[in-house]
Every structure is written in structure tokens, then in C-alpha cells.
Structure 1
């Protein structure tokens, strides 16, 4: 029988935990500490400071999937739209066993800051599914992707939230996401 798992050469493996110092355990708190310092240095207006300390929306979805064995597993999916004041949110979707709400919120905030710093008309977002794609068949990975997309489809769109690949996702995963999105909204 052929190995139907995602090829390891198609997966990104960045050192995703390098942004935390040894004394920092929570990625969102670490990001907020840096934001607080930057806001202080910039003498950020108090109202804007309050707005930028909080994500606009964080969605957590349950993703029940029939595995190849016939067993049902329930995965957790997250999508955080941090800020859209500069334009539609943009940000990657990662599949990793260590994804957390705090990590996704921190990365969505960082995407917001990155877009603002280079003056492009996008806000920040990030998403993730708590799973290990290296142990999943292509069919299982497709089912997880499509169920996750169905769970967040109301936030997605070219004028609201533009997803992209990230850790352990690739063009195939994005094609499944786009196909599912198209089926739900009625266009490609």
C-alpha cells in the first residue's frame, strides 16, 4: 500500500519558538510586553493603545473528522482576526500539535504590525489546527482542512480575511481551503 502521508519535503519547519525568551512561556503575553514597550516609546494615544491590545475576533471551532481507521477524532481549529483598520486581514494557517490560542493571537498581532510597518493595506490574522499532519494520510488531512474551512468560512474572503500557508501547510492545503470556500460562498 502506498504511503499517503504529506511528503516531508512539502512542509515548512521553521524554528517557531525562537520569538520567546527563556523566561517567557506565553506567546501572547510576550508579544504584549513588546507592544507595551513600543507604545510607550511612541507615546501612543491611549484610545488607540486600548484598541490595539485586543484582537477583533478569535474563533475556535470543533473539527470532527472520520479517520482512515473508521474512528472519529475531534480536532480544534483557531482563527484570529487581530485588526482590520488598514484593510482585510491576512495571515497564514498552521497545522501543528503545539498550536494554541495564545500563539495564534500573538502571530495575528505580529502580522498586523508587519503590514503596518511596511505600509501595505492589510490587517493581521493567523489560524491554526491542533493536529500532527506528519502522521495523517492525505485523505485525513483533506478532511481536516475542509472541516476547518467550513467552520471559519464566514470570516474568509478577499475583502475580509485572506489565508495563506504557514507551518505544515502548503499549496495543496490552500487548494482544499479555496475549493471549500468556493463551494460555501458560491463562486471561485
Structure 2
């Protein structure tokens, strides 16, 4: 099969390798197999933004549709300094599998902008989002492709996308995105949905092992919408959450963390770092701590060939 260097990345190689193994196991016909290896369409855009200092910076943006056999494409929009075409393409492919496995009438898509959202003001992020939306306008729509929040984006981002798209249609089009604020047509519980999904999967795993959650030790890498929600529910249900981390680093207490107090600390300080009664630990080391349950809920490629053998968790539930 011909290589396509445009999509080259570690994540894309992994996604394709997974597909190849499954295709062999299913005895998938060659034509279908090779078609699924690559996206149906991929768009690259440049996004000029006038920054608060008066200078203009140009950002790279992407939107990829992997497959449309089941219907319009669906997938998140991420803002991160490591975003690239290969990563976005791999994630679009994974969205195709998710939708198909759940019987949803959607294909997989993904989008992203290479930027550092934490270092940008709200005005800069709004300008970036609206210009990006304008550039991908012909690529999205309720019957074509529906973005959603992902790493570095949230309800506000989706509201900007929806508003920008709607202005070109002469009417409000809430169906162009999901994950938008409830006031403009969003769904209650959307912010916590992925974190709750982790908990549901974990309960099924424990049930299959004839085990209970109460008293189990848990480590969570990531304390945003996904990891934070999972931590709160697991702690509430009786698990001992020993360690959590965010983009600045991690904290650890073998006796367990009070997640309610930790959430208050994060609201005040912006990070888990400095939480009283906990020791500092790196994002890499927190993955290798002995525990019953490990929840990687940050960025991808955290468990790799070089550290997988040092993971000591009994159950790993990815976020």
C-alpha cells in the first residue's frame, strides 16, 4: 500500500497499524481496507490573528473527514501546540470506529489549530476561532460535518463557531456544533459526559471481574472536564483517589485526596499544584505508581513502548 507522507505521525502510524491487524483478522477485502486507511478529504488552512500586542501571527489549522459512508462526519476541534495533520487524521479515523461501533449515523472527523490556548487572551481565541470557522465554512454543517469540543476548546469555542457559521446562513443554525452552551441549544450534561463514560466503562470492567469500586486505589492523569469529572464521581462512589495531575504537574497522597477540596483549590489557583497535604509528582511518574485503577485522561501517547512495562495498575481506563 502506498505511503502518504502528508499524514505521517506516530499517532497515525498506530491508528493504521490497528486497522491493519483488524482487517487481517476480519479478512476484510483489499479495496475496503485500503480506502479506510486514508481520509476522504483533508483541509489545511492558515489563520492570521491580530494579537493583543498589535502584531499579527499566523496559525495552522486542519479539518479532516475520514469516512462518510454512514452519514455526516462528527468529531472534536482541538487547540494545542502539538496539533498536526497526522494526529488529526488519526483521531478522525478513531471517530469513524466509535460512531460505527455505537450504531450512530455519522462518520469520523477531527479538527485542530496549532496554538497555545493557555497563553492567549479571550479576544485572541475568539478571533482565532471565528477566522478558522470562516476558512472551513464549506467543510462543516449539520448535514456535512459537526464539530465538538476537544482538547483546549470548550462550550464558548463552540458558541463562536455556531455564531460565525449562522451569520453566513441568515439564521441561527445550532446543529452545526455540539457541546455548545445550554442557552443556545446545548445538551445538559455534555460537559461531564466523557468523564461519566469512563466511570460506566470501569463499572462494567469491575463487574466482569466480580469486584467492587469501594476501596480501590485510583490514579488520574488529567484534571479537566474528563479527568476531573471521573475523579469526582469515583471519589464520591468510594474509591481512594491517590494521585491526579494537570498540565503543570501532579500531586500524590497515598492515603487519598479530598476531591471536593481539590476542586476548590483548582478554581482558586488554576492548577492542582500546591494542594495542601499532597506531594508533587511529575506527569510521567504518576502513570507508574502502584494502584488498582489508572485513568489516562490527558493528551494522547502517554503510555508508550518505553514506559508500558512500568505501568503497575490492575485496570487501565482511557479517557
Task: Assess same fold via TM > 0.5.
Answer: yes
Q: 1:82 & 1:184 partners in 2: Cα distance?
A: 26
Q: 1:104 & 1:187 partners in 2: Cα distance?
A: 30
- 1:183 aligned residue: 167
Higher gyration radius (CA): 2
Q: 1:158 & 1:120 partners in 2: Cα distance?
A: 15
1:71 aligns with 2:55: yes
Q: 2:95 & 2:171 partners in 1: Cα distance?
A: 28
Deviation per CA, 1:7-37, whole angstroms, max 9, x where unpaired? xxxxxxxxxxxxxxxxxx6111111011000
Match of 1:155 among 116, 139, 146: 139
Matches within 5 A, 1:1-188: 26-188=10-172
SS at match of 1:94: strand
User: How much does 1:45 deviate?
Assistant: 1.5
User: How much does 1:78 deviate?
Assistant: 0.3
Query: Structure 2 unaligned runs (5+)?
Result: 1-8, 173-319
SS at match of 1:144: helix
Q: 1:81 & 1:75 partners in 2: Cα distance?
A: 20
User: How much does 1:46 deviate?
Assistant: 1.5
Q: 1:137 & 1:66 partners in 2: Cα distance?
A: 12
- Is the contact between residue 150 and residue 184 of structure 1 (CA under 8 Å) also seen in structure 2? no
Q: When the two structures are aligned, how many residues end up with a matched partner?
A: 164
- Is the contact between residue 84 and residue 122 of structure 1 (CA under 8 Å) also seen in structure 2? yes
Q: 2:126 & 2:139 partners in 1: Cα distance?
A: 20
TM-score (norm 2): 0.51
Q: 1:124 & 1:113 partners in 2: Cα distance?
A: 7
- 1:22 aligned residue: none
Deviation per CA, 1:138-167, whole angstroms, max 9, x where unpaired? 000000000100010101111110000000
Higher relative contact order by CA 8 Å / sep ≥ 6: 1 or 2?
Answer: 1
TM-score (norm 1): 0.85
Question: Which consecutive aligned stretches of 4+ in structure 1 deviate over 3 angstroms post-superposition?
Answer: none
Query: Structure 1 unaligned runs (5+)?
Result: 1-24
CA RMSD across the alignment: 0.8
- Is the contact between residue 90 and residue 125 of structure 1 (CA under 8 Å) also seen in structure 2? yes
